[in-house]
Amino acid sequence: MKTIKIKVKNSGIVKMQFFDDFPDGNLVIGEARKNIPFDIRRVYYINNLFNKKSNRGHHAHKKLEQIIFCVNGSFVLNLDDGENKQKIIMDNPYYGVRLGQLLWHTMEKFSSDCVILVLANDYYKESDYLRSYDKFIKYLKRK
Ligand code: TYD
């Protein structure tokens, strides 16, 4: 995953600091305004992804900035900036993907041991969501 080139707008790869040569387990670190490009106001994680048909996301944000990590297992992240689309296999806990503004995203094909961690630069606000693809495209054109 670290070698992929991000083709969509408002995204990118975020590299964590990590120590993976300890016999007692790996340590992974992110620091706000250092490798995490904002101040973190909210953290959420998604687990219990045993349903093979799980399909999450299906929205974009107007203002919110997020970094998404797969801290265990794997899943497929689909990104769409309204012009370019990209499919990313998330299977490396040391690299996150920036979900910047106005990036439609969906998540699928979760391994049953998958755990997703998201860091966000603001509190939860339903008014920041664009929850239909049609609204997303209209919002992009309005700008
Ligand atoms: P949603 O962001 O749509 O989940 P996903 O993108 O992972 O599929 O959120 C699902 C529900 O959880 C929705 O009703 C809003 C609620 N929610 C909060 O209350 N706070 C939060 O921080 C998040 C991310 C979601």
Q: pTM (2 decimals)?
A: 0.96
pLDDT for position 1:
73
Nearest-CA residue for atom 3 of ligand 1: 57
pLDDT for position 35:
95
In the chain, which stretches have pLDDT less than 70? 2, 143
- Index of the ligand 1 atom closest to the CA of residue 124: 22
pLDDT for position 116:
98
Nearest-CA residue for atom 22 of ligand 1: 124
Q: Catalytic site residue 105?
A: no
- What is the CA 141 to chain-centroid distance, rounded? 24
Tell me the best of 40, 41, 42, 44 to mutate to test the pocket of ligand 1, counting ligand atoms within 8 Å of each CB and taking the most.
44
- Index of the ligand 1 atom closest to the CA of residue 42: 22
Q: Are strands 66-72 and 115-120 parallel, antiparallel or unpaired?
A: antiparallel
pLDDT for position 2:
62
Q: Which residues line ligand 1 (CB under 6 A)?
A: 42, 44, 46, 56-57, 59, 124
Nearest-CA residue for atom 18 of ligand 1: 124
Digit-coded pLDDT (tens) for 2-23: 678 999 999 999 999 999 988 8
pLDDT for position 4:
87
pLDDT for position 143:
59
